[in-house]
Structure 1
Amino acid sequence: MRLVLKARKLQSKNTENAQNRSLDIQKLVTCLIPGLSEEFHGFVKLLSVEQASVVRRLQGQALNIALVNGDLCEKYRHVGFNRPGNAMHITNRANMSGVSLEERWIEDALRKLHQFSIDVVLVSGMAGVKLKDRVLGTNVLVIEGVNSSVLKDFSTCTDAVPISYVTQIDENCVGQGVDFVTVSIVTASTSRVMAVISSSVSAKLQSLEDQFWSCAHLLHQALADGKLLHGAGTTELLCIQQLHQSKQTEMENPQEGVVLELMAEAWMDYVSTLMMNSRSVGWRSHIADADGAGVYDNMTLKSEAWRRALNLVFLVLQSEHGDHYRCQESPDCLIER
């Protein structure tokens, strides 16, 4: 939860609306690598030693960025492209140089990158091995396997236009305002936050990532609701107290008091068992210390759980006692009754 809270603080700090207290799940990204856990606004990627040397040379400079939506290789064709099966390419000049199509494509790609002073290329797919080796010598960093949502975010913040082929690069497709921090690519005014999750035990990384996303969704829901309920059984005990008070009031149907009493007793047995097993203090102390409780539950999730539980209870009561009463209103009336 600490990591999620820091990520939300970074996200709200870098959004245009500083008063925005929500947590945008779509702008959260996780990266599982060994080392200490840190949070950055921007995009974090584990790089090779050769790529890290390029980062050190480019660090502190105003960089230009290009976004490639697809694979960065000579044989890549965009989705929907169909090469004619019976077509044959004919030229009136013989290939006397012996240069392959891939080599010519690499030369064209390098020429384009140099022409528009591209420093960073983010690729959603895979990049050709030969091209990656060649661009390292020209201080151009190619990062492959970038999520499409990250490309979209960088496109919005840097005004870069995603392209399908490197030969499509022109002055309108180049983004500006990118910087490096160690191995992190950051840009101003973005709410994109990456949480770096690490552990000395590799098998534990997936569990830690699941815990992070679970906490993130809980915090997102809590901020969306704008309210919380006291947890650790405190709210349930307050409900039991309310049931006991309700059964003492005069009711038109005397059977309602019996139902409320049975519900209160059954609920009390359940909550008491949980508190006994968890070695919690007495229920009166829980109610007295409700304002100082440090555990909270989401309003929406708790209400939905209660709704399902109460509907099930009423269904069981109707089955056991042969109550054929049917509510003609909305399903919410089951809870009200």
Structure 2
Amino acid sequence: MSTRPPQDDDRPQRGEHRQAPAQNSAPDLDAVMSERRALTNLAYRLLGSLADAEDVVQETYARWYAMTPERQAEIASPGGWLTKVAGRICLDQLRSARARRERYVGEWLPEPVPGGTGWSLGRDAHSTADPADRVTLDESVTMAFLVVLDSLTPAERVAFVLHDVFRYPFADIADVVGRAPAACRQLATSARRHIRAAQTPVAPATAQRAAVVSDFRQAWQAQDIKALVALLDPDARAVTDTGGLVQAGARSLAGAEAIARGLIELFHRVPDLTVEERAVNGLPGLVIQQAGVTVTVMALEVSGDRVTDLWAMRNPEKLGMWRVGTAGSTETAV
């Protein structure tokens, strides 16, 4: 993966410019609701699920509006309060997710989202949709990054994302995680080590990634196993998330030849498949459709001129954004 996490220093912190509301005056509604975008960004990176992220944001605002106007007026930084509450809800969900994952059928992958530089919640990315409903995609939401985040402990994930991605100080993170600031710093440092260890040695530019993905699609559709093997790293890995709701071949494959044969077998087993190049979590990926319906979204990690990882989402419950009209209507070209 190509994301290079920041160093272990405290950069300029988010929210330092906020001014406290006037005395005995509840915060302006627009100011409070303008935090929705940041909260959705945060919750998606912490949970890897858009549906869960939306639930967290709704719950966060429900708790805000459950307070009296007088109590709201006492809060100097509404954005900080909302972030703290959302972070705590996400932390609780991450802790309970471990038990839920034990009951999940097969491999679990983060929910893929369509888009290059941005995506909207079920609306045209070029429309006049409320910016509060828009999430900006960057390297911290690539599938490779989210998969590594999922390997961290809940506390490590929250500390790292809040500090390294959203630039919150450890003093504030301590209130979310329930540990001392120094302990939160160690959590972020530990998370950073895991992420660096998983980085792709040679991360190509987006244009080169797109060229490799395009060649891969053409070789796949031509059912050219030799070309596919040449485009796959010898130690490539492929993981498929079905949620136990659809049939699939092997949920996990390793090695270029095994993956290539599995992909070609899919074309033999399932008729009328088409493969399109689309942006998946901000990077070039593939969307597989059957009779015009999206059945698989595939994120690919590229190192140099070869594909090293393939993450295929086939769980229909995680393909909702790809089935609202067409995925192309919700994405911005890379």
Q: TM-score, normalised by structure 2?
A: 0.22
Structure with larger Rg = 1
Q: TM-score, normalised by structure 1?
A: 0.22
